[in-house]
Amino acid sequence: MQKVTGIAVTDPSMLAAAHAVSVPALAFEDVTCTFVSSDDRAARYTAVADTTLRIAPGEFVSVVGPTGCGKSTLLNLAAGLLQPSAGTVRVFGEPLDGLNRRAGYMFQAEALMPWRSALDNVIAGLQFRGVIADEAVQRGQEWLARVGLQGFGDRYPHELSGGMRKRVALAQTLILDPDIILMDEPFSALDIQTRQLMENEVLALWSAQKKAVLFITHDLDEAIGMSDRVVVLSAGPATHPIGEFAIDLPRPRDVAEIRTDPRFVELHAQIWAVLRDEVLKGYQQQKRAV
C-alpha cells in the first residue's frame, strides 16, 4: 500500500492519476540565465537568477515586474528558445531539451504573415505539421468563428483592425491545442475597450479548455483580473520572484466589472505594496543607463 496526499491508494490507475495531478505543467527549478556579450566574452549580464516557479495543469499564472526585469526571458526559457545557464526547466516532469512542443507562444509583437489571409495564418501551424488541407481549413474556420471572426477568413492582416489581428493570432496559437500557453503582453498595443474584450475572450477560451497559462504583463489590473495566481519579480539584473498572491476572486469574471469588487481592490493594494519599490528601482536603473 502507498500513500498519495494522505490517502491510502492501492489501485495503480489511481496512483498514476494522482501523480499526473501533482506534476506541474511547467516548472522552473533554480533557473539562472546569463547572457555573454559577443564583443567581450568577459562581459556578462544575468537576466534571471535562482528562480523557482511552478505552474499546475489548468492554472492561469501572471507574472508582473518592472520594465526590463527579465519577464520575457522566462517565457523564452519556457518555450525552449533559450537554455538556462543553471537549473532546469521541466515540462510535465520531463527536462526541456530544445523547443517546447507542448507549448503555444503568443508574442507581444505581431507574428502574422502579411502575405497570407487570416485563415491561412490560422492554419499555418497545422500545415507545417502535415495536416491534410480540407481538415486544416475546416478547423481554421471553426477557430475563426470561436474568436468572433467568422466571415473574415479571406482578409489579409492589413485589412484587419488591431483587435482583429490579435484574434487571428490567438486562433493561430490555440488551434494547435497546446498543453501550455505562453503569452507575452499580447494586448499591450490595444485600446482599453478592445483590450478588455480580448481579455474576456481569452478567459472564456481558457475556461473551456483549462490549459496551463503563463501570462506576462505590465498591467497589474489585467494580471489580477485574469489570473489564479500573480507572481511578482524583482527589478533586474538577476531578477527572481519576490512575492506570490493567490487570486481568490470568483469565476467566471468580467475583467472590467471585477475591478470594482472590494476584494480586487484589496488584492491590488497588497500586490502593489510589493511591486512599487521594484518599479522605482527599475526606473532609476533606466535613468542611469541613458
* Percentages (nearest 5) of helix, strand, coil residues in the chain: 40, 25, 35
The answer on pLDDT for 18 being more than 60 is: no
The whole-angstrom separation of Cα 252 and Cα 139 is 26
* No. of helices (H) and no. of strands (E), the chain: 9, 12
Is residue 212 situated within a structural domain? yes
Domain count for the chain, please give it. 1
The whole-angstrom separation of Cα 274 and Cα 276 is 6
Share of the chain above pLDDT 90, in %: 74
Residue predicted with more confidence, 188 or 31: 31
Average pLDDT over residues 194-202: 92
User: What is the domain extent for residue 63?
Assistant: 56-80+97-102+178-289
CB 173 within 8 A of CB 181: yes
**Stated pTM of the model:** 0.89
Average pLDDT over residues 256-264: 96
Which amino acid belongs to residue 123? I
Residue predicted with more confidence, 6 or 287: 287
pLDDT band at 63 (very low <50, low <70, confident <90, very high): very high
Residue predicted with more confidence, 37 or 36: 36
What local confidence, expressed as pLDDT, does residue 8 receive?
Answer: 36
Pairing of strands 94-95, 86-91: antiparallel
CATH of the domain at 190: 3.40.50.300
Which amino acid belongs to residue 248? D
Q: Answer left, alpha or beta for residue 178, where phi above 0 means left and psi between -120 and 50 means alpha.
A: beta
Q: By three-state DSSP, how is residue 230 classified?
A: strand
Is residue 110 situated within a structural domain? no
The answer on pLDDT for 15 being more than 80 is: no
Is residue 206 situated within a structural domain? yes
Concatenated DSSP letters of 134-155: HHHHHHHHHHHHHTT-TT-TT-
pLDDT band at 20 (very low <50, low <70, confident <90, very high): very low
The whole-angstrom separation of Cα 152 and Cα 173 is 17
Is residue 260 situated within a structural domain? yes
Candidate ranges 16-20, 34-38, 163-167, 282-286; pick with highest mean pLDDT: 163-167
What local confidence, expressed as pLDDT, does residue 290 receive?
Answer: 58
> Which cell numbers hold the place of 6?
494522505
Which amino acid belongs to residue 82? L
Is residue 255 situated within a structural domain? yes
> Which cell numbers hold the place of 226?
485574469
